[in-house]
Structure 1
């Protein structure tokens, strides 16, 4: 993949940063596109090259390069299902890395053979944004281990602190602490559940709605303006999504602009659980 390929100066810097990001037990990484295709074939090739130079064997699933780059149009669901199941059931694959988010993951979760996928309950599956739907379905079906993490195309651009956090978590260590601002303070502990706000609400209306009791729910949103974010949070709240959770932690609600904290404070006044803001989670280079 890397033969004869010229990397940009930024990519060469990323190469050294990616070295050692995966534990030694991760020998082979499978690349899938459960949602939209990569933004450009050149960017995908460059990111693959960085992983290979960092010592990772990469398997690109047969249909992962199909589709129109830079668009949100997904290839047929059956092809995406075939790629994901093939990667998942390949005994050589130690980790699945989604190429990007985009749109369309909600169309495949009902078509996956969850009985087969449950045979690998600890397989790491990394991605974020639209991959929220797959992660929630995995939690509900008790198949694989979802990690809300930078996708393939995002990895070369995330900052050093985020890479350090990803490396720590994948190696079973606690990442460096992040100072948060309490809107409703309280003592908090629990398993993390993280996702894109709009997609958390969408999947909550399906059979893949995850169990939230005792969970610390991390939320980010790149695309909802303040009224939409408030309506989506209200819909989740009224559905009981937050009723028994341990806490809610907000990352970025990027499109809310100057009203971002106002939206979060309004939500905090309507729930009983602890609520914190300021976690560096979202569609930015600071994304652990």
Structure 2
């Protein structure tokens, strides 16, 4: 049934590719149902299926909500748990049901991530989402909902949280705004561009001054390509590496290995800065499951290298980046030694955070060093 199974027949079901050569399935494209896009003037839901952090730190949430209205021309709608910390999983599920079933709502955008969206899954009614598919935006713990929708045959968009992306200090990053506008309002191919500078050090969201100016940035070396000798087009699947590992342990919302044949996997890590050895182990375990050998390519997000719990100086950040890159390549060398890998791609817990299509086509053009997605 394609990546994650679900109710939509893919162009090339994964089982047609079993037994064929690697070269045969490098151009396999599995199409999920892409819900209709909003237009300026439409209503969009702002939800907190993971953490109700807007209730504690309202400033970036309100800034992001205002930009959604003023800069994007959309009408934001909040729900009972949008600003409620520690809301019951059943209540958060009720908000998702309400947002998706309301005919006024044309897209659903997460406020931020968290760590327990997986507890919401048992309270979700799949028929609500099948009957009322909407574009869904978010990252980090929102991985759970992306994977859930993927299992139902519904494509979504990895990125675009209210507090971090829309509510960024000073202004939305120009490349992120361009990516968000394309994902929200347009259809067709879109080329992702490597960043030249990144913002690594966070600021205090409780301080109004932190939102008045853009964060400081540092130059970056861009993406790193390995085995870039071919063009791979496949369906994107992945998200936050730690969250995917939780989903695997709970056996919830994860696809069968055969359904990842030819897929473009994408993973990134959180502000908790998992040690390189843990990154290797998580990928190793996916390798033991057969995921790494099955995929057509791997994109690894540029890792977050600083947090309020890890006050790394520039040298420590460089070491963390190098150690994580080495861990990723160790796992890929052991389980998928010929698979194209692109490291330090600007998505996930990084600034800028570009939008990736979840269960949508991604083209990895190794010889040209280009990444093209289809929104």
Q: TM-score, normalised by structure 2?
A: 0.65
260, 266, 272: which one pairs with 2:330? 266
Residues 218 and 248 in structure 1, CA contact (< 8 A), matched pair in contact too: yes
Where do residues 183-222 of structure 1 align in structure 2 (5 Å cutoff)? 183-185=226-228, 186-205=230-249, 206-210=251-255, 211-222=259-270
Deviation of 1:267 after TM superposition, in Å, equals 2.1
Who is 2:174 aligned against? 160
* Counterpart among 63, 66, 70 of residue 53 in structure 1: 70
Q: Alpha-carbon deviation of 1:189?
A: 0.6
Query: What does residue 203 of structure 2 align with?
Result: none
Match of residue 96, structure 2, among 84, 96, 121:
84
Alpha-carbon separation, structure 1, partners of 2:241 and 2:262: 19
Out of 123, 139, 159, the residue aligned to residue 128 of structure 1 is 139
- State the secondary structure of the residue aligned to 2:331: helix
**Which segment drifts farther, 168-177 or 50-59?**
168-177
**Match for residue 29 of structure 1 among 28, 37, 44:** 44
Distance (Å, rounded) in 1 between the aligned partners of 2:113 and 2:325: 26
Distance 1:212 1:26, change over 3 A: farther
Distance of aligned partners of 1:53 and 1:169 in 2 relative to their CA distance in 1, 3 Å threshold: closer
Structure 1 165/46 Cα, relative in aligned 2: closer, same or farther at 3 Å? closer
The partner residue of 1:280 within 346, 351, 362 is 346
Question: What CA distance in whole angstroms lies between the structure 2 residues aligned with 1:131 and 1:247?
Answer: 22
Q: Say whether the 8 Å CA contact 2:299–2:342 is kept in structure 1.
A: yes
Give distance in 2, aligned partners of 1:207 and 1:98: 20
1:116 aligns with 2:128: yes
Offset, 1:200: 1.4
Q: Give the 3 Å change call, closer, same or farther, for CA 82–231 of structure 1 in structure 2.
A: same
Quote the residue 1:249 is aligned against. Answer: 299
- 1:23 deviates by 5.3
> 2:113 aligns to what?
101
Matched length: 259
Alpha-carbon distance in structure 1 between the residues aligned to 2:142 and 2:341: 24
CA distance in 1, matches of 2:303, 2:182: 25
> What are structure 2's unaligned runs of at least 5 residues?
1-36, 195-222, 306-319, 355-375
Deviation at 1:26, TM superposition (A): 6.8
CA distance in 1, matches of 2:46, 2:302: 27
Shift of 1:25: 6.3
Q: CA deviation at 1:181?
A: 2.8
Distance in 2 separating the partners of 1:48 and 1:174? 27
Is there any run of 5+ residues in structure 1 with no aligned partner, and where? 1-21, 68-73
CA distance in 2, matches of 1:138, 1:106: 13
Secondary structure at 1:138's aligned position in 2? Answer: helix
Superposed CA deviations along residues 26-69 of structure 1, whole A, max 9, x for unmatched, are 711001100011251233223222222232111101221112xx
**Contact 2:149 2:156 (8 Å CA) reproduced:** yes
2:239 match: secondary structure: strand
Tell me if structure 2 keeps the 8 A contact 1:132–1:196.
yes
Distance 2:304 2:74 in 1: 33
Taking structure 1 as reference, are residues 253 and 50 closer, same or farther at Cα in structure 2, changes over 3 Å only? closer
Structure 1 residues 254 and 166, CA, compared in 2 at 3 Å: closer, same or farther?
Answer: same
Instruction: Please give the secondary structure, in 2, of the residue aligned with 1:287.
Output: coil
- Which structure is richer in relative contact order (CA contacts within 8 A, separation 6 or more)? 2
1 CA distance for matches of 2:232 and 2:52? 38
Quote the Cα distance in structure 1 between the aligned partners of 2:175 and 2:64.
19
